[in-house]
Amino acid sequence: MSARDADVAVIGLGTMGSMAAWRLTGAGADVIGFEQYGVAHDRGAAGGESRLFRTAYHEGSEYVPMLRRAREMWVELTRASGRPLFTPTGCLSIGLPDIDPMRNVRASIEEHDLEHETLDPDALAHRFPQHAPAAGEIGILDTAGGMLRPELAVLTAAVLARTAGARLFERTPVLAVEPEDDGVAVVTAERTWRARRAVVTTGPWVRELVPSAEVTPKPIVLTWFAPIDVRAYHPGVFPAFIRDTDGHHLFGCPVMDGVSVKAGVADVWPPLTDARELTRDLPEDAIAPVMRSVQRFLPGLHPSPIRHEVHLDGYTADRTALIGPVPGMPDVIVLAGFSGHGFKMAPVFGSIAADLALRGGTGFDIARMDPARFPARFAPGGGAAPAPADH
């Protein structure tokens, strides 16, 4: 056996990798980490200024225990770092009461006794006139919801990991991860590193190192709109929101930059076969759907965006992440495929990565996230068509 460089190598220091490095060092592990770009860069899944945090969950009530723990961790991290990582604005879900997302929101509330306010159509129109009403729609305000600062959160976790002794190498792409007799070899252009275990958190790029991972890279377009009266969209009066109406899936956050509201729609661009194909130049017709949604549902915003960004996330066919040992490679733990809704739980996923790498198990229920659950690769443009993206 060759001498080891560290207990654990973390590959990809974006959302999940930075949190994993932080939690691993917190558990006393000797950590090395590698990022192909700089920490908190804007080409992956962590860019775009803000992320919605919700506990009453459109995607299913089974996430609530993780979401509750995540909220505690965000509050702790915000306090400990002195940085505004989490802003408790609440999160408003809007839709007809009997659509699946709203049923799941109610199930989350009922099964887990979550604090909330239910707004009937009149109360919704009166309390949040920024949202144009549609017949019969209600609002459910998740009072534990809010918004997160993704770039700052990634940077904070990486700084904390470094302060605790992690050696994190930026602009250092990993070329291969290879199992060895009693550990893993991590190959970079400069040298090969050895660790007891590897945590692969390379997001939309995951198939380059773990070809069996059933993850498809998919662009998400974000757009920012200037309000006619900016005072009506500040965090104190305008919660983060998510809305499903007549096939429109619209989400957004209050003003954070003093001038604009972020609003986005799902599924504007088709999936990519390779994350490196991403172009960040947006054809004009790609913005048209969000402009239509904003014009209809947020009439207090000028309907032409003042800026846009294109980011990537990795999607699985069932929109549930892959978390666990790579089939056939027990010392390589993969966390990928967060399918448009993973950021809010990132500190918990970091803890789970540390649990799996150091103890071989976790107290969180991750059975449904087993990386071995897909019998065949999810083909971009084929197979099961993804449902609208979550956030």
Ligand X SMILES: Cc1cc2nc3c(=O)[nH]c(=O)nc-3n(C[C@H](O)[C@H](O)[C@H](O)COP(=O)(O)OP(=O)(O)OC[C@H]3O[C@@H](n4cnc5c(N)ncnc54)[C@H](O)[C@@H]3O)c2cc1C
Contact set with ligand X (CB under 6 A): 11-17, 34-37, 44-46, 48, 51-52, 173-174, 201-205, 208-209, 220, 222, 311-314, 336, 338, 340-344, 391
Minimum CB distance to ligand X, residue 72 (Å) = 16
Residue 214 C-beta: closest distance to ligand X, Å: 14
- In the complex with ligand X, the residue whose CB is nearer, 201 or 216, is 201
Other beta carbons less than 10 A from residue 152's beta carbon:
17
Work out how close the CB of 11 gets to ligand X at its nearest, in angstroms, rounded to a whole number.
5
When the beta carbons of 243 and 341 are compared against ligand X, the nearer one is 341
Angle between helices 150-163 and 64-81 (to 10 degrees): 70
Which residue is closest to ligand X by CB?
A: 14
Which runs of consecutive H residues, i.e. helices, occur in the chain? 15-26, 64-81, 100-112, 121-127, 150-163, 288-297, 346-359
Contact between 218 and 317 under an 8 Å Cβ cutoff? The reply is no
Comparing C-alpha atoms, which of 384, 341, 141, 97 is closest to residue 240? Answer: 141
When the beta carbons of 159 and 312 are compared against ligand X, the nearer one is 312
Q: Are 50 and 150 in contact (CB under 8 A)?
A: yes
Residue 37 or 364 having the CB closest to ligand X: 37
> Which lies closer to ligand X via its Cβ, residue 227 or residue 350?
350
CA-CA distance, 101 to 350, in Å (whole number)?
A: 27
CB of 122 to ligand X, least distance (A): 29
Tell me the angle at which helices 64-81 and 100-112 cross, rounded to the nearest 10 degrees: 80
Residue with Cβ nearer ligand X (97 or 309): 309
Burial class (CB in 10 A: 0-12, 13-18, 19+), 312: buried
Shortest Cβ 181–ligand X spacing (Å): 24
**Residues 281, 222: Cα–Cα separation, whole Å:** 13
Beta carbon of residue 242, minimum distance to ligand X (angstroms, whole number):
8
Distance CA 247, CA 296 (A): 13
115-130: b (≥16 Cβ within 10 Å) or e: ebeebeeeebeeebeb
Residue 39 Cβ vs ligand X, minimum distance, rounded to whole Å: 8
Q: Which is nearer to ligand X, 8 or 174 (CB)?
A: 174
